[in-house]
């Protein structure tokens, strides 16, 4: 399909899209609290004539925006939550706008805006009679705590889709084909008895002792889980003054593994350890399940379509000024960091990447058949409908996500990657509208590659964890 008109439509929206990325970047909001960000994006689509549904999954900042009618029905996933403590000016020195405040270190100020641009371009094609079908933008909150799409999936938000598409900022441009780890997020809170730790310790029962025993028990579990599994934790509440026996303390765990079944087995074992820790310390324990997501299953048919349109749309038009700033940011990274970030590439691609501080040309996937050690709630969507996503070069080569260097890039030249991503998402949506064989191939592959039916991991009655400010 010729996508010149589609690309021209996105280019006509460029000023508006860049303005949206800047607005979100200037007002970063944490997951489940993205009130202004969600309203900004939904209002743009509401004003354009999309049908808006708000409050999906019990989350005020989750919404969908739908246009068109009939099949196929294509979903575009968007995110807009920021990260704590990553406030940063557009500068090559560590310089927070506000110390301790959030910042867009994962590029979600670009992420959601690209999806908005894509569905606006698809709407234009429908209105012009160049396409027939239904497109929905999903405003997905709280990806950083792996909550948004899980609760939306429980609500059935993605059940009617024929395909779902999305992207993510990165330091290279390629289809994202790796498997990710399924994950559970669980808090264990222990309740004991306070006492003077010196004068009457025998009167106390330390909740912190229970937390420490739980954490120690989890360390002994590591020998007996698969090499790809991950167990990590923090102590959000460990008590107060040392001379007061802590009456309450909390450990927060992430359990990750390549499959939902293994995550659940490890979590069941961890529950037993927590109960044992309470028994040993004569405390009581309460458990709060925050979220649980699936591993990501990439759809090759859709990913190939994305790559074709990445090549049609690219390279991302970075300027000499962009490259100069990118070089300044890259100079703040260690050689070890850059080496680690490019280790998956073939030697030929590594040499090409090393020679270019910005590497905006689309390339074939470099992670097919690998297991990424992180998690994404896009995984849940990929178990419900054929799903594909891609990386787009928004940062200097070698830049990790969740860093101040990424924040600075996302507030500057990264906006050009958002416009590029909008073109790719729009073009692939129109390919699905016009090519029944592509839709059928994606569905056939989905049914062969997804190893079972989707069952949301959330226990009955689980509510979104609004108290988490991460």
Residue pLDDT, tens place only, 243-270: 999 999 999 999 999 999 999 999 999 9
CA-closest candidate to residue 168, choices 107, 96, 222: 107
Structure-token match 């073109």, residue found: 423
Q: Note if the bond before 72 is cis, omega within 30 degrees.
A: yes
Strand partners, 237: 250
In degrees rounded to 5, what are phi and psi of residue 192?
-125, -145
Mean pLDDT of the chain: 96
324: Cβ contacts below 8 Å, ≥ 6 apart? none
Tokens of 49: 């004539």
Average pLDDT over residues 192-202: 95
CA-closest candidate to residue 394, choices 171, 161, 134: 171
Angle at CA 347, nearest 5°, toward 344 and 352?
100
> What is each CA distance from 456 to 182, 184, 231, 379, in whole angstroms?
12, 12, 21, 11
What angle do the packed helices 14-26 and 415-434 form, to 10 degrees? 120
Share of the chain above pLDDT 70, in %: 100
Q: 396, 357 in Cβ contact below 8 A?
A: yes
Tens-digit pLDDT profile for residues 56-98: 999 999 999 999 999 999 999 999 999 999 999 999 999 999 9
pLDDT value for 350: 77
> What is each CA distance from 382 to 151, 199, 313, 397, in whole angstroms?
15, 58, 25, 28
Angle at CA 67, nearest 5°, toward 62 and 70?
120
pLDDT value for 93: 97
Q: Is 136 exposed, middle or buried (0-12, 13-18, 19+ CB in 10 A)?
A: buried
Model confidence at 470, in pLDDT bands (50, 70, 90)? low
pLDDT value for 2: 82
pLDDT value for 346: 78
pLDDT value for 340: 86
Rg, Å, the chain Cα set = 23
Least confident range of 323-327, 357-361, 437-441, 457-461: 357-361
Coil/strand/helix, residue 309: helix
């Amino acid at each position: 399909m010729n996508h010149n008109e589609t690309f021209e439509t996105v280019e006509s929206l460029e000023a508006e899209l860049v303005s949206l990325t800047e607005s979100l970047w200037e007002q970063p909001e944490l997951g489940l609290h993205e009130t202004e960000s969600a309203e900004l994006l939904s209002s743009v689509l509401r004003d354009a004539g999309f049908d808006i549904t708000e409050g999906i999954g019990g989350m005020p900042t989750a919404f969908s925006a739908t246009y068109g009618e009939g099949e196929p029905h294509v979903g575009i996933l968007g995110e807009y939550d920021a990260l704590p403590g990553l406030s940063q000016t557009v500068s090559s020195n560590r310089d927070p706008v506000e110390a301790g405040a959030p910042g867009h270190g994962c590029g979600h100020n670009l992420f959601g805006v690209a999806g908005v641009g894509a569905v606006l371009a698809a709407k234009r094609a429908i209105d012009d009679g160049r396409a027939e079908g239904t497109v929905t933008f999903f405003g997905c909150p709280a990806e950083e705590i792996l909550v948004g799409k899980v609760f939306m999936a429980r609500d059935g938000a993605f059940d009617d889709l024929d395909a779902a598409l999305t992207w993510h900022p990165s330091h290279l441009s390629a289809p994202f084909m790796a498997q990710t780890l399924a994950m559970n997020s669980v808090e264990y809170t222990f309740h004991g008895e306070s006492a003077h730790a010196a004068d009457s310790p025998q009167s106390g029962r330390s909740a912190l002792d229970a937390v420490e025993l739980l954490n120690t028990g989890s360390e002994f579990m590591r020998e007996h889980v698969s090499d790809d599994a991950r167990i990590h934790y923090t102590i959000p509440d460990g008590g107060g003054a040392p001379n007061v026996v802590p009456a309450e303390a909390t450990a927060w765990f992430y359990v990750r593994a390549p499959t939902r079944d293994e995550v659940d087995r490890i979590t069941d074992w961890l529950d037993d350890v927590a109960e044992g820790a309470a028994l040993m310390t004569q405390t009581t324990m309460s458990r709060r399940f925050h979220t649980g997501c699936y591993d990501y299953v990439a759809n090759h048919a859709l990913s190939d379509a994305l790559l074709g349109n990445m090549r049609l749309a690219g390279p991302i038009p970075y300027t000499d000024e962009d490259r100069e700033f990118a070089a300044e940011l890259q100079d703040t990274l260690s050689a070890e960091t850059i080496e680690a970030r490019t280790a998956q590439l073939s030697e030929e691609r590594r040499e090409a990447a090393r020679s270019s501080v910005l590497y905006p040309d689309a390339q074939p996937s470099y992670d097919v058949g690998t297991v990424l050690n992180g998690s994404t709630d896009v995984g849940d969507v990929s178990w419900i409908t054929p799903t594909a996503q891609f990386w787009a070069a928004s940062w200097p080569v070698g830049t990790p996500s969740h860093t101040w260097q990424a924040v600075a890039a996302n507030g500057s030249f990264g906006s050009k990657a958002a416009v590029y991503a909008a073109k790719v998402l729009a073009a692939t949506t129109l390919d699905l509208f016009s090519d029944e064989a592509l839709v059928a191939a994606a569905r056939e592959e989905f049914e062969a590659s997804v190893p079972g039916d989707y069952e949301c991991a959330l226990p009955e009655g689980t509510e979104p964890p609004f108290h988490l400010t991460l």
